[in-house]
Structure 1
Amino acid sequence: MLDLPDLPASRESVEAERAHRKRQLAIAFRIFARYRFDEGIAGHLTARDPEFPDRFWVNPYAVHFSRIKVSDLLLIDELGHVIEGERRTNKAAFWIHSSVHHARPDVVAVAHAHTIHGRAFATLNKLLDPIVQESCAFYRDHVLFDAYQGLVLERTEGQAIAKKLGDKRAAILRHHGLLTVGRSVEEAAWWFIAMDRACQMQLLADATGGPRVMTDEEAAVAHRQFGNAGMARHSFQVLADLVAEQEPDVLD
């Protein structure tokens, strides 16, 4: 379940908050590119608009994560129409993200991509085990969506994913990939990075014959320490500062 304390202070205006979310969203795509989370035209991150909560900002269709700028982002309404922006959108992105945003008014951002380790783990039909402290960010805080019907091209499947997610911060989509949410762009993006790495660590550990699983008490402590919003935002910002310095065109 997403934690409520330690939230960032409200910015002085809706316009300032919108600009912040768009900057962080564009930077998140550049970070995902560095982690090689791209897979052709697949993958999308969204940020709810602070003025119009039924609308969200998203990456345009068929633009590589490493090239996305603030000015490329599209504003999509509740019907899937592009309100702002010059490019087309990804229909699968709309059905998944609009359903999650609608079901979770507490969520500002949603991240989904088709990563190597995330997809490999998604074939195993199971949840992550608490085997390392960082993995415990998802201890009792993620779900397995165990239905698969191909590309998410219908509202009903997006709604099914949102319903299964419930109040948790992440989902493993069987035969598909990972999905994370957050009360900020920073959180959603960092939880995605952390979850993909948790999948990689468990795949490696399982290949050795079986890692030790932490006790409930150990996992609960690690969840409090590694699953809080402040750690997620600070961890994201370390990466964001590098992108802003090394790739300043992201803010164009």
Structure 2
Amino acid sequence: MSTTTTTTLLTTAPVAVSLCANTTQTDAAPGIAALSTGGYKFPGIPKIDDPYKKRKWQLEHMAGAFRVFARKGFTEGTSGHISVRDPVDPTTFWINPLGKHFGMLKASDMVQIDEHGQVIGGNKTAVNAAGFMIHSAIHKARPDIHAACHTHSPAGKAWSAFGRPLDMINQDSCNFYGIQAVYEAFGGVVLGAEEGVRIAEALGPKGRAIVLQNHGLLTAGGTVDEAAYLFTCMERTCEVQLMVEGAGLPKKLIGEKEAAFTSSVNADPETLYTEFQPDFEYEIWMSNGELSKGL
């Protein structure tokens, strides 16, 4: 099977291309501090030194991310998965059980698997084979990535048919400036290790969001909160771009300088983590005690 996973600089020109492997965001990254005011510091990502406590915290947030995805309509049969690298044994990761609705998941439902795809901890049950192939390749290739999200969300599936990255057409689109890529091939259901490796290669050394052509979206981050917020934002951005494309009118694209600045403020890990908290806390409130902040 012939595949194309080239990564070239994403510009604001109408021709859409993929992520440049050596693209970096602007050095100035004020982050969440620039977005809050009033004399009080807004809390960001908590520092947790104990790896067992960090595991508990991550699994609660992972369960919350699934419930957010369920509420937003990202479910499709048994498809879709989120993975979180284990802080106790970083060569392993946690993933959701096969065939359980996102909206029912709790931290105790998550499954720990090793680099060979064998269940070694947590909920002793089967996991999605394609999910393992994709997520294991990404975690191996990118030590900085501790969580990855992939579902067959409606707008993501629709936009993936174009095999194009998102254009910089609004403020939220700028969250993906310099971090998005396109996997320009479809090899069917990902049941072979080589397909997962090619997806990881297309994501590149800096990418955190990728359009899987004729498939859907995948996002990644240093926390599951970051990866999950990027996914919800990317899905909505695909939906908006489809609306714009459907209007058939000329687009006004945001300039590279402005897109880079907006990304530096809105798309750093602390800010993306914080952006996810309202949805997560809503799910805690709605869960009747099944979810917690994990701290």
TM bucket, shorter chain: over 0.9
Question: Which structure has the greater CA radius of gyration?
Answer: 2
Query: Which one-letter code corresponds to 1:215 in the other structure?
Result: G
Q: Deviating runs (4+, > 6 A) in structure 1?
A: 1-7
- The number of equivalent residue pairs is 252
Query: Which one-letter code corresponds to 1:223 in the other structure?
Result: S
Relative to structure 2, which stretch is displaced further, 239-248 or 179-188?
239-248
C-alpha separation between the residues in 1 aligned to 2:222 and 2:124? 28
2:140: which partner in 1?
102
C-alpha separation between the residues in 2 aligned to 1:145 and 1:12? 36
C-alpha separation between the residues in 1 aligned to 2:144 and 2:192? 24
In the superposition, the TM-score normalised over structure 1's length comes to: 0.95
1:235 paired to 2:275: yes
**What SS does structure 1 have at the residue aligned with 2:290?**
helix
Unaligned runs of 5+ in 2: 1-22, 32-43
Query: Which one-letter code corresponds to 1:135 in the other structure?
Result: S
Q: How does 1:173-192 map to 2 (within 5 A)?
A: 173-192=212-231
The alignment's C-alpha RMSD in Å is 1.8
Q: Which structure shows the bigger proportion of residues in helix conformation?
A: 1
2:87: which partner in 1?
50
Q: Is the 8 A contact 1:100 1:162 kept in 2?
A: yes
Query: Which one-letter code corresponds to 2:81 in the other structure?
Result: H
Query: Which one-letter code corresponds to 1:249 in the other structure?
Result: E
1:249: which partner in 2?
290
Query: Which one-letter code corresponds to 1:185 in the other structure?
Result: V
Identity of aligned residues (%): 36
Give the C-alpha shift of residue 211 in structure 1: 2.2
1:203: which partner in 2?
242
1:82 to 101, 119, 128: 119
In the superposition, the TM-score normalised over structure 2's length comes to: 0.82
Q: Is the 8 A contact 2:112 2:120 kept in 1?
A: yes
C-alpha separation between the residues in 2 aligned to 1:49 and 1:12? 14
**What SS does structure 1 have at the residue aligned with 2:181?**
strand
Q: How does 1:4-43 map to 2 (within 5 A)?
A: 8-43=45-80
Give the C-alpha shift of residue 60 in structure 1: 0.2
1:131 to 126, 149, 169: 169
1:156: which partner in 2?
194
C-alpha separation between the residues in 1 aligned to 2:50 and 2:271? 25
C-alpha separation between the residues in 2 aligned to 1:93 and 1:156? 13
C-alpha separation between the residues in 2 aligned to 1:35 and 1:211? 28
C-alpha separation between the residues in 2 aligned to 1:203 and 1:236? 24
1:92: which partner in 2?
130
Per-residue CA distance 1:16-63 (angstroms, 9 max, x = gap): 100001000011000000000000100000100001111111100000
C-alpha separation between the residues in 2 aligned to 1:108 and 1:92? 18
Q: How does 1:112-131 map to 2 (within 5 A)?
A: 112-131=150-169
Q: Is the 8 A contact 1:2 1:168 kept in 2?
A: no
**What SS does structure 2 have at the residue aligned with 1:241?**
helix
Give the C-alpha shift of residue 9 in structure 1: 4.4
C-alpha separation between the residues in 2 aligned to 1:12 and 1:195? 31
Query: Which one-letter code corresponds to 2:56 in the other structure?
Result: A
C-alpha separation between the residues in 2 aligned to 1:17 and 1:87? 23
Relative to structure 2, which stretch is displaced further, 202-211 or 242-251?
242-251
